A and B are shown apart, each in its own frame.
Chain A
Amino acid sequence: MPSIGDRIREIREARTLTQDQLAERSGISKGFLSDVENNKRNPSSEYVLKVANALGASIDYLLRGDEVAQASPRGPVTIPPELAEAAVRLELTYAQTVELLEAHKSVIARRSNKEIKRFESDDWVALHKAIKTVFG
């Protein structure tokens, strides 16, 4: 059965981080990290919290292997009229339109001192372009 050390190594490698990088990011010593990964030492809860946050991983997964329950099932999809207009301009399929909508909704919160305004058709087009630029 995998140990905490095994799971730390699993995620660190999935994130393509070296032990040095993870040690630096989490503010712990590389020697201690190496010992934990090799099951030579048992980390404290404070240590596991630091490593979990540095890895962007769930502490419950690190401690017990509990997989993270992902987002609840989607509710009804409402396509705003500005997106519908942009979808026509971009000749998007329904599935692509919903994907664009989901991408936009992935912004949960932002701290700013400027007003936010309604997304217009051109903004949806620009968003689609930005996604295409990054993902091809």
Chain B
Amino acid sequence: MAVKLQNNPTIRTLAHDLGARISSDPITAIKGHCHRQIKQFLKEFGDCATLTGLLALAAQKLGTTFREIHSDADLRNLIQEFAARREPCAAFFESELTHDVFGITFKLLNAGKFDLPYISIIDCRGSKTHRAYFTKWHELGHLLILTDQRRLAFRRTHALHEYKSPEESMVDVIAGEFAYYEPIIRPFVKGQITFETIDTARQALCPEGSYVSALFGLVKVWPVPCVLVEAKWAPKRSGEDFALRAVHVAVNDEARAADLQLHKNFRVPRRSLIHRVFDRVVDDGTAEENLAWWESSDGTQLPDQELRVLTKRIGDTVYALLIPV
């Protein structure tokens, strides 16, 4: 995705609007623009040790307030509140927050002397609640790169197709940078990596972040080599040959430095604990395995590497930590 985004004209225009040179890598330039702002916020405030605190600080500095909607009644109350403030956005809340919309940010047109200029409505109804933390960062991502509204103007009703615009993809990249912001996380990630220690860090850093997003966010910066695998029943890229596959893989820097690599969509070895947990033959646990059990689709075996494998089953998905022994 990064390569495609890098060459996208919208992303290049955005980078240019933010002051990047035409010749520079637009994604690096845009991320750099956002990092500079966040660093400045932290420098000015000076008292921010958790991701929850960073989120609150960034929202304030970027001029928005999060309002969570947990029920239809919450939505009606919000409409009443903003209608009383004569804000036209009150007329859109219901029509905009359709089932496929997770969050939306409005500019207030009748803001008073103390009002922040924006409001970000976060839809936490039903299963959307699991995405609330990331949605907040997504909305802040838009504000971090706000130039003018040219790119959004006049294109705003709902279409039928599933599609993510280049700018939305870029904003997801930005949200991913800050939802688990390394300088804040570092002091919390130390010692052995297990599902329990990851969850302890999540509770201390941002209890509102989902368990799965924390797994991916924290494994990446944990200072020991580790590969996180999300295993699901899935086809090959071509759409056929269903099997238990590593549908998402996160390899941290330490693992990469130790030559521990695993690629997305690899078939999970039948004898691996991951497969046995998926098949409900055994419960979650720990096993000593070898990376050489894994094969690519052309039959190439991965290098010989003793591993400790820890599993965690959530619904029809098995998450596994692969740690070199």
Please report A residues at the B interface, Cβ cutoff 8 Å: 7, 10-11, 14, 44-46, 49-50, 52-53, 55-59, 61-62, 67-68, 70-71, 80, 82, 99, 102-120, 123, 126-127, 130-131, 133-135
Say yes or no for B158: interface residue by CB 8 A criterion.
yes
Q: In the complex, what residue of chain A is closest to B80 when comparing beta carbons?
A: A134
Which chain B residue has the least Cβ–Cβ distance from A126? B95
> Would you call B135 an interface residue if the criterion is a C-beta within 8 Å of the partner chain's C-beta atoms?
yes
Knowing A53-B60, A57-B116, A119-B154, say if A112 contacts B149 (CB, 8 Å).
Answer: no
Q: Are B142 and A108 in contact (CB under 8 A)?
A: yes
B102 in contact with A111 (CB, 8 Å): yes
Are A108 and B146 within 8 A (Cβ)?
Answer: yes
Q: Is A45 in contact with B47, judged by CB distance below 8 angstroms? A: yes
7 A-B pairs with C-beta separation under 8 A: A53-B65, A103-B92, A104-B156, A111-B102, A115-B163, A118-B155, A119-B155
Q: Write the B80-109 contact mask toward A (1 if CB under 8 angstroms, else 0).
A: 000100111111100110101111111111
B159 touches A111 (CB 8 A): no
Chain B, interface residues (CB within 8 Å), range: 35 or more
Q: Within 8 Å CB of A70, what residues of B?
A: 111, 117
Complex formed: what's the CA distance from A121 to B307 in Å? 61
Q: How near does chain B come to A117, taking the closest CB pair, in angstroms? A: 4
Within 8 Å CB of B47, what residues of A?
44-46
With A109-B104, A113-B164 as known contacts, state yes or no: A11 contacts B91, CB within 8 Å: no
Given that A46-B47, A114-B159, A116-B165 are contacting pairs, would A133 and B91 also be in contact in the complex, using a CB cutoff of 8 Å? Answer: yes
